[in-house]
Amino acid sequence: MTTRRHRHRKTFWQRWKKRWWLVPIALVSIASLALAGIQFGAIGWITNAVTPFAGGCSDTRPVVIAADPSIAPTLTAVAADFDAAEGNCTSTEVRSLLSADTAALFASGASGDLDAWVPDSAAWLDRVESMASSLGRTAPELEITDYVASTPVVLATSAAQVSTLGDEPLSWGSLLSGTVATLLPDPEASTASLAGLAQLKSVSSAEDPRQFAGAMLAIGKTIPQSTEEAFELAAEAAVPTVVITTEREVAAYNTASPSSPVVAVYPSDGTVELTYPFVEIVGAGSDADAAGAAGTDASSAVAADSAETDDSSKLLTAFAAATRSSVELLAGEGFRDADGGGALRVTGVPEVATEAKPTADAAVQIEILRSWSVLTLRSRLLVVIDVSGSMLDPANNGLRRIDVFQLAAGEALSKFSGEAELGVWAFSQNRIGTQDWEPLSPIEPLSDPAHVAQINGVVASLPDQIYGYTGLYDTILAAVKHVKEDYDPSKINSVLLITDGYNEDDDGISLDALLKSLKELEDPTQPVPVILIGFGPDTDLESMTEIAQSTGGAAYSATVPEDLGKVLVDALSQRSCRPNCT
């Protein structure tokens, strides 16, 4: 502009004499341009005063979104583009928060400054309501605006172990039966794990709930706290081991650890997918709005608040739509699109999507989670075994009663985690002088291989321990006192007594005396339930039930000794419903 004006002045002064008649016209033109300049300058000043920033925004609205860590980086990238788009006038903060932690926040009745939430499953909304109800709180109103991404649940193992899984197709059924070792990151925090448990339940027997309970006991022996930990444990396992996880977790792990990749295997009997909802926190920020409106006309404040809420909702809906449409960005992070489609080009998963169904109903998942929390309660357990002479009597299958017990004990022991503590006593009349019980192994952690070996040795030696009559009542009282001595409030402290008979020690305490003593020992802060299992035709189930219920325990009967293993599963799985289990 400067150069052009300079040339224009030079030409004018050189030629003015020849074109003097242009002077009046030029003066009029200059005056018109000057006036126009003043007008344009005023308009520009006004415009800049109102919208001095790029995109025409005088101010930006803060938007705060809580997102599961698996999708938080993706949303952060979406937010950058969304904030830069003309007319949005937003400043978006994406907070990476575990879905479990955010759900707990909402269940407490608080939402803080959050405007929206993207968990890894819509099931979290039901869990928020369930947790809030148990806390006696009212959760914020949550509304799903859209679904923005998905990822199927898969079974993953190290690339080195894929070829050792065998010729049989990998399925949920093979996990249920225990033919394939399985690791499950804590389902309290992992939605993929909970969805996987729901799949296991869907293929289990509806007539025999012990099948699913037994599978959860076995899987719950080791509970990794993260998917990364589970992948590492699977790679180090002595036998082929799979991890219940998602495509996205496989993709993320392989991106971070390219030298030790894992491979996603898809169950032959189908799978489900996690779908990420975009959840609006209805009325977020309304408290602040109300405070700001204090002292103003009430109707005006309500109208303003309603208008702002509508604007906020439209803005969040637009953000959800922007996320959903960011297909390439989602695929780059290992996600399928919200409808389960899209192509991936990441190590460990196929490019083309595998067909997947929606996850189980949230109510089903919540019930499974309750069962899981009971079955995986860490135990401090004293097992008391009847070694009276009748244990050598034959069972219906040609084995002796003690042989049947040994088989069941080995199966039951395999279901306990290393975090459990277990000890063993044997009992029959006058084992040590006039004492009816004999400690064979102290209550110590099963994480100690030497202790596990000792218990296995005790179980193997039981046939050689058998003699005498059944000294039941004195043994029960002594066992409860022993467990109370070193009570661990972080665990379920209990006595598990297995017998094939009834009390035969006439020199010991009576049933009434036992019940009275147990009542005197009762302490609600240190409960020690007694679980009694009778097997064979000679057990006194009536007295056993009375004893068990007086301690908050339960009595079980294995009509035939072969049912002992199933009853042991019942004894562990019904810890939350006693004494009113059905």
d(CA 419, CA 12): 98
CA atoms within 13 A on the CB side of 493: 19
Q: Please name which of 186, 105, 190, 117 lies closest in space to residue 153, comparing C-alpha atoms.
A: 190
Residue pLDDT, tens place only, 429-488: 999 999 999 999 999 998 898 999 999 999 999 999 999 999 999 999 999 999 999 999
Q: Is 308 helix (H, G, I), strand (E, B) or coil?
A: helix
Report the Cα 235 to chain-centroid distance in Å: 22
Output helix, strand, coil percentages for the chain, rounded to the nearest 5.
45, 20, 35
Residue pLDDT, tens place only, 244-288: 999 999 999 999 999 889 999 999 999 999 999 999 998 654 443
Distances (CA, A) of 207 to 113, 167, 211, 366, 556: 48, 30, 9, 21, 19
Q: What is the DSSP letter of 562?
A: G
Read off the tokens for 171: 């399925």
Residue pLDDT, tens place only, 116-150: 999 999 999 999 998 898 888 888 899 999 999 99
pLDDT bin (cut points 50, 70, 90) of residue 535 is: confident
Contact 184, 223 (CB under 8 A): yes
Which range is most confident: 170-179, 284-293, 509-518, 555-564? 509-518
pLDDT bin (cut points 50, 70, 90) of residue 303 is: very low
- Please state which of the ranges 160-164, 435-439, 475-479, 540-544 shows the lowest mean pLDDT: 160-164
Q: Which residue has the higher pLDDT, 427 or 217?
A: 427
Q: Please name which of 339, 346, 461 lies closest in space to residue 406, comparing C-alpha atoms.
A: 461
d(CA 137, CA 147): 27
Give the predicted TM-score (pTM) of the model: 0.70
Cα radius of gyration rounded to whole Å, the chain: 36
Q: What is the DSSP letter of 254?
A: H
Contact 504, 471 (CB under 8 A): yes
Average pLDDT over residues 139-168: 90
- Please state which of the ranges 194-208, 332-346, 505-519, 561-575 shows the lowest mean pLDDT: 561-575
- The stretches of 441-510 forming alpha helices (DSSP H) are 449-461, 472-485
Distances (CA, A) of 524 to 489, 492, 529: 12, 13, 11
Which range is most confident: 3-17, 299-313, 551-565? 551-565
d(CA 134, CA 283): 23
Q: Is 540 helix (H, G, I), strand (E, B) or coil?
A: coil
Contact 94, 67 (CB under 8 A): yes
